[in-house]
Amino acid sequence: QVFITRSFEVLRPDILQALNRLSSTVYVMMILSVAKHPLTVAQIQQRLGEKP
């Protein structure tokens, strides 16, 4: 379904707000996961398939 008209009138602001909050939540979770458990260079290389 389309939630914005051709004249850019928002028909479902609740859905747009929920999507915005979801993307913000994912971004914050990514930052927290890196900050709490930072990877070492060796771990990054291992995940990329490179030899240390």
Domain extent at residue 41: 1-52
Is 10 in contact with 16 (CB distance < 8 Å)? yes
Give the integer Cα–Cα distance in Å for 51 and 45.
Answer: 7
pLDDT tens, per residue, the chain with 52 residues: 567 888 989 888 898 889 888 998 888 778 777 777 777 778 877 878 766 5
Give residue 8's pLDDT. 87
Phi, psi of 4 (to 5 degrees): -135, 135
Phi, psi of 44 (to 5 degrees): -65, -45
The structural domain count of the chain equals 1
